[in-house]
Amino acid sequence: MLRRKSKVVVSVLLLVFTLGMLGGCTSKAKTTGDSAANKIKIASVTPLSGSQAALGEQIKLGAQMAFDEQKAEVEKLGFTLEFAPQDDQADPKVGVAVAQKLLADTDVLAVDGHFNSGVAIPSSEIYAKDNLCMVSPANTAVGITDRRLPNVNRICARDDVQGPLGADFAAQDLGAKTIFLIHDKTTYGQSIADEVKKQATVDGMQVVGYEGITPGESDFSGVLNKVAVVKPDVVYFGGIYPEGSLLIKQMSDKGIKAKFIGPDGMDDPEEVKIAGAAVIGTYYTSPAADISRTPAGKAWVDSFTAKFGKAPSNWSAYGYDAMNVIMEGLKKAIVANGGKKPSRLQVSTAVRAVSGLQGLTSVISFDDKGDNKGAKLYVAQFKEAKYPPAVVKEVNAFK
C-alpha cells in the first residue's frame, strides 16, 4: 500500500513539474518573440586580434561612435538597438565563419565591415544569401562591387583608381624611371600591385622587379637583396603596415635609396612605431586622410579622443561614415515599412538608395554597383616620424 501511494505521489509531482516546465517554455518563447519583434543588431567586422588589430580596432571605434550617436533616434521609433562588434582576424576562413553566424542571427540587419578585401569578398557572398546589408569602410579591391551584389556597398575608393594614382605619382611627381613591385600575396596586396604595374608601363616606367612576400614574415633580406642589385627609383609595396613598415626599416638598414610608396594598407599610426625614423620621406596613397584638416574634422577628432581616450586613425572616420550610412538607411527602411521592423532586403534597398549624405570623408552617394560617387584619394608623405602624415595630393576617385 505504501509503495502504491509513493508511486501516486511521484506521478503527481512529475505531472506538476512537467506542466510547470511547459508553462515556463511558453512564457519564454513569448518573451523571445516579443523581443525579436523590436530588437535590431548592427554588426561591425574587422580584425580585432592579430597583427592588424590596431587598425581594425580603430575602424570599430569609429563605427561605435556613429552607432552611439544615432541609437536614441532609432529607438524612438520603437526598437531596441545593439552594437555587435566581431573579430575576423584578417582571415578569410574566420571571416566566413563570422558571416555565417551573423546571417543566422535574424536580428542582425546590417554589417559595417570588413577591412581586408580577401576577407570581405567570401564573407559578402554569405551575406548575399539573405540580402544582409554590408557597407565597407575600407575594402578597395575591384571585386567588392564589380560582382554587383545589391546588398554590398563601399564608401572608399577602388584599387583600379588607387593603383594608377600610385604609379602616376611615382612617374610624374617623383620623376621615377624604374620601379620594383613587392606584394604580400593577399587578394588586396597583389591586386593593387598589379594595378600599379599596368599603369607604370603606360607611364613609361620600367618594371625591374615583381616579388611576393608572406604575411607574418619579419626578415625580408631575400627580396631586398634583389632590390639592392637593380637600384630602382621607387619600391612599391602592395600590402598592410606590419610587413610594409618592416620593409621600410630594412630598406634603410641596407642603405637602399629608392623612394617607398605603399597603398592605404600602410595608413596606420603603428607604421611610425615599427619603422621609426626610416618612415621619413616615404609615401602612401589612401582613400583616407588626416580628418583634422577641416574644422568639422578637428571637432570630430576631439570628440572621438574624449570618448575613447585615444586619437582616431584616418580609417576611424570611414568606420564612422559607413555606420552613419547604415543608420540612415535603417531609419528610412523602418518608415517605409510602416514603423515595423524592416526585412534585410528592405534595409539593403534603402542603404543603396542613400544619396547626398554629408559624411566626414565625403558626400556619399552610391552608383548601381555600390561604389561611392563622392570617394576621394590622397597621397600622403611622412615629413617627420609622426602620424598622420601630410597630404601632398588629392584627387576625385570616382570613375
pTM for the model: 0.80
pLDDT at 130: 98
Residue 10, pLDDT above cutoff 90:
no
Residue 33, pLDDT above cutoff 80:
no
What pLDDT band is residue 314 in, cutting at 50, 70 and 90? Answer: confident
What pLDDT band is residue 29 in, cutting at 50, 70 and 90? Answer: very low
What pLDDT band is residue 45 in, cutting at 50, 70 and 90? Answer: very high
Nearest to 130 by CA among 370, 371, 348: 348
Kindly report the number of other CB atoms within 10 A of residue 198's CB atom.
15
Alpha carbons within 13 A on the beta-carbon side of 21: 6
Which range (32-41, 166-175, 285-294) has the least confidence? 32-41
DSSP H helical ranges for 153-292? 159-168, 187-202, 221-230, 241-253, 270-275
Residues 347/333, Cβ–Cβ less than 8 Å: yes
Residue 277, pLDDT above cutoff 90:
yes
Which range (24-38, 153-167, 172-186, 297-311) has the least confidence? 24-38
pLDDT digits (tens, 9 = 90+) for 336-395: 999 999 999 999 999 999 999 999 999 999 999 999 999 999 999 999 999 989 999 999
**What is each CA distance from 137 to 30, 324, 378, in whole angstroms?**
38, 11, 16
Phi-psi region of 380 (alpha: psi -120 to 50; beta: other; left: phi over 0): beta
Q: Over pLDDT 90: what percentage of the chain?
A: 83
Which range (57-61, 82-86, 253-257, 264-268) has the least confidence? 264-268
pLDDT at 6: 39
